[in-house]
Amino acid sequence: PKTLHGLAPITAIITKFAPPTENNTAAYISAVADYTGFDPAARLNLRSPATLSALAQAITKHENGIQPYAVADVDSIAAAAA
């Protein structure tokens, strides 16, 4: 998604990677926002390991119906990615 200084809202991220032509994008955005507690329109710091971990966990849960990975593992990967 288009970012400004590494910031992007959940709505932009999910719409880009799960477009309405292929998904119920509104439900996806709502699920990710509910799981993370982030406002779907708020610009998120995508350079923050904590933010990346929360997003990864929420997206994984939405895509798979469960979040099968240990939080510590997701946190470690998010820290390396940030």
User: What pLDDT shows up at residue 3?
Assistant: 60
Computed from CA positions of residues 46, 18, 25, 32, in that sequence, does the dihedral angle turn out positive or negative?
A: negative
Q: Alpha carbon of 26 to those of 21, 48, 68: distances in Å?
A: 12, 25, 24
User: What pLDDT shows up at residue 51?
Assistant: 96
User: CA-to-CA distance for 73 and 30, rounded, in angstroms?
Assistant: 25
**Whole-number CA gyration radius for the chain:** 12
User: What pLDDT shows up at residue 9?
Assistant: 94
pLDDT tens by residue, the chain, 82 residues: 556 556 789 999 999 899 999 999 999 999 999 999 999 999 999 899 999 999 999 999 999 999 999 999 999 999 999 8
The pTM of the full predicted model, rounded to 2 decimals, is 0.88
